[in-house]
C-alpha cells in the first residue's frame, strides 16, 4: 500500500527482501516499480559478501495497474525487468506487436544505455 502504511515503501520492501526471503513484489504503477527496482539493484551492489541477506538474485516486480502509454511504455517494463499486467485484448495485441519489433527495441535500449552513461 501507499508508502508501506507510513513505514516507507522502499525501506519496507528492502527489509522484506533481505530478511524475510520475499521473492516478488506487486506495485500499482510503473513508476513505483522502477523506483523499487533501482532501490533493490543499488543495495544489491553495495552489500558485501558477508551480509546475511536472504534476497534472491533477481526479485520479480509486477505492476498491477494497466500499462499507460503502451506500446512505448513496454520499453520501460523491459529495460527495468518489470512484469506487466495484461488486462485485455487490446493491450495483449499491443504487447505482441511490440515483441515482434525487436530491431526498434534494441535501438531504444542502446539509446537509453548511452543516455544513462552520459548522466553518470
Domain boundaries along the sequence of the chain: 1-65, 68-79+86-120
Rounded to two decimals, what is the model's pTM? 0.77
Alpha carbons 87 and 64: distance in angstroms, whole number: 9
Residue 59, CA atoms < 13 Å, CB-side half-sphere: 28
Of 8-12, 16-20, 80-84, 116-120, the poorest mean pLDDT is in 116-120
pLDDT digits (tens, 9 = 90+) for 50-102: 455 666 668 999 999 999 988 889 989 998 999 999 999 999 999 998 888 87
Report pLDDT for 80.
93
Phi, psi dihedrals of residue 24, rounded to the nearest 5°:
-155, 150
Beta bridge partners of 62: 26, 83
Amino acid at each position: 500500500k501507499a508508502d508501506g502504511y507510513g513505514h516507507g515503501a522502499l525501506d519496507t520492501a528492502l527489509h522484506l527482501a533481505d530478511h524475510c526471503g520475499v521473492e516478488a513484489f506487486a506495485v500499482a504503477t510503473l513508476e513505483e516499480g522502477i523506483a523499487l527496482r533501482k532501490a533493490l539493484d543499488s543495495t544489491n551492489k553495495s552489500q558485501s559478501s558477508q551480509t546475511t541477506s536472504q534476497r534472491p538474485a533477481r526479485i520479480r516486480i509486477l505492476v498491477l495497474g494497466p500499462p499507460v502509454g503502451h506500446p512505448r511504455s513496454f520499453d520501460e517494463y523491459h529495460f527495468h525487468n518489470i512484469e506487466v499486467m495484461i488486462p485485455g485484448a487490446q493491450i495483449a495485441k499491443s504487447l505482441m506487436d511490440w515483441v515482434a519489433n525487436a530491431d526498434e527495441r534494441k535501438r531504444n535500449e542502446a539509446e537509453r544505455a548511452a543516455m544513462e552513461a552520459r548522466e553518470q
